Structure 1
Amino acid sequence: MPKFLIHIFALLALVWSGPAFADVQIHFHSVNGSVLFGRYPHTFFVLEGELEETGEAVSENYGFSARKVTPAILSGPVEHMVLAEKPQFIQKTNRHFTMTITDAQYRQIIKEVNAWQNAPGKYYNLESRNCIHFVGKMAEILGLKVEYPGDMLRRPKKWLNHVVGLNPSLGAKEI
Structure 2
Amino acid sequence: MLSIRAFCVILIAPLLFWASAAQAAVTITFYSHDFGSSFPHAFVVLKGTLDSTGDKVDINYGFTAVNVSPNILFGSVKGKIETSKPKYVANSDAHFSMVLSDRQYYAVIAKMVEWRDWPQKSYNLNKHNCVHFVAEVAQTLGLKTNPKTNYWKKPKSFLREVRRLNPGVRVAANAPD
2:31/2:92 contact within 8 Å kept: yes
Correspondence for 2:107: 108
2:33 partner letter: V
Correspondence for 1:32: 34
CA distance in 2, matches of 1:43, 1:101: 19
* Structure label with greater radius of gyration: 1
1:25/1:48 contact within 8 Å kept: yes
Of all paired residues, the percent bearing the same amino acid is 35
1:167 offset after TM fit, Å? Answer: 1.2
1:105 offset after TM fit, Å? Answer: 0.5
Correspondence for 1:59: 58
1:147/1:163 contact within 8 Å kept: yes
Unaligned runs of 5+ in 2: none
CA distance in 1, matches of 2:90, 2:176: 18
* TM-score (norm. length: structure 2): 0.89
Mapping of 1:147-162 within 5 angstroms? 147-149=146-148, 151-162=150-161
Q: Per the alignment, in what secondary structure is the counterpart of residue 107 of structure 1? A: helix
Question: What is the alpha-carbon root mean square deviation over aligned residues?
Answer: 1.8
2:149/2:158 contact within 8 Å kept: no
CA offsets, 1:38-75, max 9 Å, x none?
x0111100000000111100000000001011222112
CA distance in 2, matches of 1:75, 1:155: 18
CA distance in 1, matches of 2:2, 2:136: 58
1:27/1:47 contact within 8 Å kept: yes
1:170 offset after TM fit, Å? Answer: 1.8
2:25/2:101 contact within 8 Å kept: yes
**Deviant stretches of 4+, over 4 Å:** none
Count of aligned pairs: 171
Q: Per the alignment, in what secondary structure is the counterpart of residue 49 of structure 1? A: strand
Unaligned runs of 5+ in 1: none
1:119 offset after TM fit, Å? Answer: 1.2
1:164/1:174 contact within 8 Å kept: no
